[in-house]
Amino acid sequence: MNAATAGAARNGTASTWQIRIGGVGGQGIVLASKLLGVAASLYDGKEAVCTQVYGPEARGGAARSDVVISEEPVDYPFVTEADVLAVLFPEAYSKFRPRLRPGGLLIVDSQLVKAADDEENIIRIPATKIADAVGNRMARNVVILGCLIGSTGVVSREAMVEAIRNNMKPKIVELNIRALDAGIRFAETGELP
């Protein structure tokens, strides 16, 4: 299955999205989840909660950051069954894959993570390559975000752009908007920049 045909993952029971981003320290996964939360909560009129794992667990091995986005106030703040799991690190894939609900969407950086061949609802995105193409591989996390919102519609592009503008240093804002758009484009068309 390629990006263009991967299904958007909706939680059937409520208007709630449970999103987990897994990676390793330094990849900006906490920031990515926060940008998602900011976009949803401040610019898209939704409710959102972010949580992270702290301490020794978050150092070295696989780290994660959770975002729960809903039309209603979010009570329980953690991901129980992820609607979307995005991973940027092999260990994060093996560790968090069981938390993806059946039929949930898996997004992997295809250059960093080799997902099982029989994954069905998966987008394999060469996020590092795309980030390099738009100017800096450190923007990989935002490429993944673009892919995530492009394939699910969980928050709008406009809200994400606002989140980036208001939470990043001015000199890297344009780079990250390019990364976001490249991620969205890949999700929609499977095209590389």
Partner 1 sequence: MVETLSADRPPARIDDEARRTQPRVRTGVHFMLGDHACAEGALAAGLDFFAGYPITPSTEIAEHLATRMPEVGASFVQMEDELASMAAIIGASAAGARSLTATSGPGFSLMMENVGLAAMMEVPCVVANVQRASPSTGLPTMVGQSDILQARWGSHGDYGIIAYCPASPQECFDLTVEAFNAADRYRVPVFILMDEIVGHMTERVIIPEASEIPHVPRKKPDFSPGAKRFLGYAADDDLVPPIAHAGEGYKVHMTGLTHDEKGYPAMSPDTHHQLVNRLVDKIRLNASAIERYEEFELDDAEVVVVSFGCTARSARRAVREARAAGIKCGLLRLITVWPFPEGRIRRLVEAGKVQRFVVPEINLGQLRREVERLTNLPVRRLNHAGGSMPKPDEILELIRS
HSE toward the beta carbon, residue 67, CA cutoff 13 A: 29
Three-state DSSP state, 172 = helix
Taking the least distance from each CB to partner 1, the nearer of 76 and 189 is: 76
Q: Are strands 62-70 and 47-52 parallel, antiparallel or unpaired?
A: antiparallel
Smallest separation (angstroms) from partner 1 to the CB of 170 = 10
Alpha helices in 19-65 (DSSP H): 29-38
Taking the least distance from each CB to partner 1, the nearer of 69 and 107 is: 69
Residue 6 gets which letter from DSSP? P
Taking the least distance from each CB to partner 1, the nearer of 114 and 165 is: 165
Written as one letter, the residue type at 172 is I
Smallest separation (angstroms) from partner 1 to the CB of 109 = 15
Taking the least distance from each CB to partner 1, the nearer of 85 and 139 is: 139
124 phi and psi angles, rounded to 5 deg: -100, 110
Smallest separation (angstroms) from partner 1 to the CB of 130 = 14
Smallest separation (angstroms) from partner 1 to the CB of 49 = 5
Smallest separation (angstroms) from partner 1 to the CB of 6 = 26
Smallest separation (angstroms) from partner 1 to the CB of 126 = 18
With contact defined as beta carbons under 8 Å apart, do 64 and 53 qualify? yes
With contact defined as beta carbons under 8 Å apart, do 188 and 4 qualify? yes
Residue 173 gets which letter from DSSP? H
Taking the least distance from each CB to partner 1, the nearer of 47 and 188 is: 47
Task: Tell me how far the alpha carbon of residue 131 is from its chain's centroid.
Answer: 14
Residues forming the site for partner 1 (CB under 8 A): 26, 28, 30-31, 34-35, 37-38, 41-42, 47-57, 74-77, 80, 136, 138-139, 141-142, 163, 167-169, 172, 176
With contact defined as beta carbons under 8 Å apart, do 16 and 161 qualify? no
Taking the least distance from each CB to partner 1, the nearer of 70 and 121 is: 70
